[in-house]
Structure 1
Amino acid sequence: MRLLRYLFLLCALAAAIAGGYWWSVRPPEVNVAHPYKGRAAEVVYATAVVEPVRWAKVTSIVRERIVSLCGCEGMKVTKGDGLAELDSGDARATLAELEARQDLALSERDRALQLLERRVVSQQIYDRAQSELIRINAIIAAQKERLLDYSIVAPMDGVVLRQDGSVGEVAEPGEILFWIGQPKPLQLVAEVNEEDIPKVTEGQKALILADAFPDEELSATVGRITPKGDPVLKNYRVYLDLPDDTPLRIGMTAEINIVTRENDDSLLLPPAAFNGTIVQTVNAENRVASIDVKTGIRGTRAIEVLDGLAEESRVVFPYRADLTEGQKVVPEAGDER
């Protein structure tokens, strides 16, 4: 009885050893994909903001409290229409003081002229009085011009796209109080990295991905490229024209892919199948062979294969660094896209 138990244990141990050995020498399973025909596109990625083609930012150039606002956000305005008034009390008090000094200087000049005609004072006294009057007149003219800065007006015909600030707040110089522009046409303003800008030219098509319209196919056309880039951010500004029927709105952000080159009916493989330009193929004997292929357009979803593979080739997908040249494998059909 004990002998039978020992024999049973030995058989079980032998089976386990045999199974482990078989598993250790069993060829590994790999997913394989076939190159497929499709359109290869080289794109330049960038983020962009929707802006009107013609618009202006309206700011204050003096630091003063806001006393009135037009409340005309979303309304049409004409160039010169009043948008806001700033507190000009101190400026007008200064003007009144200057005008009083002007009256005095005028009297002094007239008196000096009368005395000069009677030869009581010299020409020099009269000239000094005349110069003082001229100086005060110039100061008053400048002060009247400065008072215009307390009235903020529309710099162009258009629509008040946005109004900021409230009555009682202090407007700071350079702080934007109004955005005024033409609702149509619209454009995308993108920042493109300097290493990509040589690929971008006017007239190229751009595909748009906007969070507000995830299921819509939106596009734009490269209109112009700023001649000078930003040496700090290392990018160039690119303006893209939007069609009149675009659903995008002013101020929206979007991701764009500018199509810089494309080929139809190309042989493609997903990027995960590559290690640089090396791919692993599985031959008729199910053995691995590494091939250095010639590639063309390298996109984010597919890489164009120019030479080295055929449509019937079986390619390990994704690339397996643990496989060796000539190693036997068990291929299984994988997702090739």
Structure 2
Amino acid sequence: MRFLKLLIFVLLIAGAIAGSLWWFKKPPEVQTVMPTTGRAAEVVYATAVVEPVRWAKVTSIIRERIVSLCGCEGDQVQKGDQLAELDSGDARATLAELEARQELAQSDKERALQLLERRVVSQQVYDKAQNELIRINAITAAQKERLRDYVIVAPMDGMVLRADGSVGEVAEPGEILFWIGQPSPLQLVAEVNEEDIPKVAKGHKALIRADAFPGKELTAEVASITPKGDPVLKNYRVYLDLPEDTPLRIGMTAEINIVTSEKDDALLLPTAAFDGSKLLTLDGDNKIVLLEVETGIKGTRATEVLKGITGDNRVVFPYNPDLAEGQKVRPVPGDGK
């Protein structure tokens, strides 16, 4: 009886060891996908802002208190219409003083002329009086011109898209008080990385994703690319025309994918299945075969394969660098995402 119990115990230990060896030596499990045929598209991603094609930012060039505003946000204005007025009290007082000095200089010149004709004073005295009048005239004219800076006018015909500032506030030089432009047509102004800009060309279509219109298909078309990029931010400005019926509004932000190349009926595999141009495939015995392939259009999700595989190949997905050539694996279907 004791011998029988010992034999059973030994057999159990041997079975456990054999099971453990089998477990540790069994082929690893891998997901596989097969190439599909479909549309391949290469895109360039960028962020963009909606702006009018024609518009202007209106600022003050002096620091002064606002005394009146037009209250015309949303209204149409003509070039030269008054939008705001700044406190010009000190400037007008200066002008009044200059005009008084101008009258005095005019009187001094006339008196010097009379004395010169009577040979009481020299030509030098008359010239001095005349030069003083010319100087005062120039200063007075400059002050009159400076008074125009206290009245802010529309630089173009258009709609007042936005008005900032309030009466009593101090307008700072360069601070935008009004946005004026044509409400249509609209455009997208995008910033494209310098590495991607060589792929972008006029006429390329762009797909738009805007938070204000989730799930809605919106498009634009590349109209122009600024010739000079920003060496600090390392990007280029790209302008895209929006269709007349676009629901996007001025000032909205959007994410865009500019389609730089596309092809129908392309042989596709998930991009995650690639390591550069390498793929891991399975032969008939479920052993790993490393393949070098030629790729075409590379998208964010799928990549086109030009040469190296057929539609019947089973491809490991995602690519696993721990697998070796000739290694036995256990394949399971993948979802290809």
TM-score (norm 2): 0.96
The secondary structure found in structure 2 opposite 1:57 is strand
Counterparts of 2:5 and 2:169 in 1: how far apart (Å)?
Answer: 96
Q: Equivalent residues in 2 for 1:148-227 (5 A)?
A: 148-227=148-227
Amino acid at match of 1:330: R
**CA offset at residue 249 of structure 1?**
1.1
**CA offset at residue 153 of structure 1?**
0.6
Deviates more, 1:118-127 or 1:249-258: 118-127
The secondary structure found in structure 2 opposite 1:322 is coil
Matching residue of 1:289 = 289
What are the superposed Cα offsets for residues 217-258 of structure 1, whole Å, 9 maximum, x if unpaired?
111111011111222222211111111111111111111111
The secondary structure found in structure 1 opposite 2:20 is helix
Counterparts of 1:68 and 1:152 in 2: how far apart (Å)?
Answer: 10
Matching residue of 1:26 = 26
What are the superposed Cα offsets for residues 95-127 of structure 1, whole Å, 9 maximum, x if unpaired?
010011111112212222222333322333222
What are the superposed Cα offsets for residues 196-233 of structure 1, whole Å, 9 maximum, x if unpaired?
22211111111111121120111111101111122222
Counterparts of 1:26 and 1:123 in 2: how far apart (Å)?
Answer: 117
**CA offset at residue 16 of structure 1?**
1.4
Matching residue of 2:130 = 130
**Gapped runs of 5+ residues in structure 1?**
none
Say whether 1:273 aligns with 2:273. yes
Q: Equivalent residues in 2 for 1:35-184 (5 A)?
A: 35-184=35-184
Question: Among the aligned pairs, what percent are the same residue?
Answer: 74
The secondary structure found in structure 2 opposite 1:145 is helix
Conserved in 2, the CA contact under 8 Å of 1:35 and 1:336?
no
Counterparts of 1:213 and 1:181 in 2: how far apart (Å)?
Answer: 24
**CA offset at residue 71 of structure 1?**
1.9
What are the superposed Cα offsets for residues 65-100 of structure 1, whole Å, 9 maximum, x if unpaired?
111212222221111111111111110010010011
Deviates more, 1:236-245 or 1:19-28: 19-28
Deviates more, 1:230-239 or 1:88-97: 230-239
What are the superposed Cα offsets for residues 10-46 of structure 1, whole Å, 9 maximum, x if unpaired?
3332221121122122222211101000111111221
Counterparts of 1:149 and 1:5 in 2: how far apart (Å)?
Answer: 109
**CA offset at residue 160 of structure 1?**
1.1
Amino acid at match of 1:86: L
Counterparts of 2:86 and 2:66 in 1: how far apart (Å)?
Answer: 4
The secondary structure found in structure 1 opposite 2:286 is coil
TM-score (norm 1): 0.96
The secondary structure found in structure 2 opposite 1:321 is coil
The secondary structure found in structure 2 opposite 1:14 is helix
Say whether 1:313 aligns with 2:279. no
Matching residue of 1:304 = 304
The secondary structure found in structure 2 opposite 1:243 is coil
The secondary structure found in structure 1 opposite 2:285 is coil
**Gapped runs of 5+ residues in structure 2?**
none
Conserved in 2, the CA contact under 8 Å of 1:273 and 1:319?
yes
Counterparts of 2:127 and 2:323 in 1: how far apart (Å)?
Answer: 102
What are the superposed Cα offsets for residues 102-161 of structure 1, whole Å, 9 maximum, x if unpaired?
111122122222223333223332222222112111111110000000000110111111
Conserved in 2, the CA contact under 8 Å of 1:188 and 1:240?
yes
What are the superposed Cα offsets for residues 293-319 of structure 1, whole Å, 9 maximum, x if unpaired?
111111111111001111111111111
Q: Equivalent residues in 2 for 1:241-252 (5 A)?
A: 241-252=241-252
Matching residue of 2:14 = 14
What is the CA RMSD across the aligned residues, in angstroms?
A: 1.5
Counterparts of 1:290 and 1:149 in 2: how far apart (Å)?
Answer: 74
Deviates more, 1:326-335 or 1:122-131: 122-131
Counterparts of 1:168 and 1:3 in 2: how far apart (Å)?
Answer: 107
Aligned residues: 337
- Relative distance call for 1:4 and 1:72 in structure 2 (3 A) is farther
Counterparts of 1:159 and 1:246 in 2: how far apart (Å)?
Answer: 19
**CA offset at residue 4 of structure 1?**
4.8
Amino acid at match of 2:248: L
The secondary structure found in structure 2 opposite 1:284 is coil
Amino acid at match of 1:192: V
